[in-house]
Structure formats: structure tokens, C-alpha cells
Amino acid sequence: FAKPNIVVYTERILNDWIEEDVKIINNCIQGTLADNFPQVEKNIISSSADYVILLFGSEDILKGVDNETFIKKLDKLLQVALKKKIHPVLLTPPPFSEQITIKDYTLEDVQKHQAQLSDLIKKIYSLAENTPIPLIDLYSFFLENHLLYDHLFEGWLPYGVTQTAIASFIAREFLN
């Protein structure tokens, strides 16, 4: 499988910025954390990585997974990584924009899901504040950069111009 552009861009940037050879292993699994938890847990357990970046949330909300279930599963993955001596890094998902193009999706649906995502982001912030686990905040990054926000594919997926910006942001945050 080919690596997604964002992974390739981040890997190239990190290799340019630091003296070590950086390889990013992409274990991206489409879908919800709720549906894919066993596979994600297995990928972490079988990994020999130094770091694992965990980005989930958008699809969980769109598929109706409640925030408490999501946080419990995310916390379990964090514990699995720490037990394996892998450094977890939390990554908040981008926001939903008003341009979301999901079939039969109304502005009211966007507002409801954005409110749930906002609540989930607060829980992720709290999780990061109460642990030594670093947080890379894509959610705020998009809200503070309207050009990026306006280029969310289908109103919620990073693509094109946003991927290069995200890669630079992640690399910079990762090295801080």
C-alpha cells in the first residue's frame, strides 16, 4: 500500500530537519475506533515503533459513537502503547465545516456533530493535561487558519493544500 501524502510529507520534513533517518509506518485504518479497536490494538502491540500517533474521532462521531465510549477505547490504546514502551502522541481531528457533503446532511446535523466533536476535543485536552502524553492540536490549527478550514474535502477530510500544511505543523509540534 502506498503511504498517504500527509505521511510522506511529514517523513520528508522530519528527515530534512533532524540528523536521524525517520521512517513513518502508516497503520491507518479507515472507519471508527469503535469498529476497529481490536485491529488498532493489535497493530500497536506488534509494533516496534518508538512513537504512535493516535488520530481518531471524526468518523466515530459521524457514525454515532458516543464520546464516553470513544474516550474509554482511546485511553485503553494509550495504556497499551505505554505498557509496550511506545510513546503515544494524541492528535485532535480537524473540525467539521459547513461545507460537509454527506448525503442528506443538514446544517443542523453539522451543528450537532460539531458540538459533539467540540465536547470530544475538550475530553482529549483533559486527557493530555492529566498525563505526560503530548497533544498535537489539529482542531485548533484548522479553526485558526481559515484557508485550511475552507479546504477540508467534503467538509471534514484534509486533502491537497491542507496535507502539506498539516505535515509541517505535525513535524514542528512533534519536535517541540
- The per-residue pLDDT string of the chain (176 residues; one tens digit each, 9 = 90 and over) reads 344 677 777 878 888 888 777 776 666 667 777 788 888 888 888 888 788 888 777 888 888 888 898 889 889 989 998 999 888 888 888 888 877 777 677 888 888 888 999 999 999 999 889 888 899 999 999 999 888 888 887 777 777 778 888 888 888 888 88
What are the tens digits of pLDDT across the range 94-138? Answer: 888 877 777 677 888 888 888 999 999 999 999 889 888 899 999
Q: How far apart are CA 4 and CA 164, in angstroms?
A: 11
Angle at 173 between CA 67 and CA 115, to 5 degrees: 25
DSSP state at residue 20: S
Rounded to the nearest 10°, the torsion over CA 79, 83, 84, 87 is 60
Task: Look up the pTM and report it.
Answer: 0.83
CA pair distance 81, 89, nearest whole angstrom: 10
Alpha-carbon span 136 to 91, nearest angstrom: 5
Element (H, E) at 92: strand 87-92
Q: How, if at all, do strands 152-153 and 135-137 pair?
A: unpaired
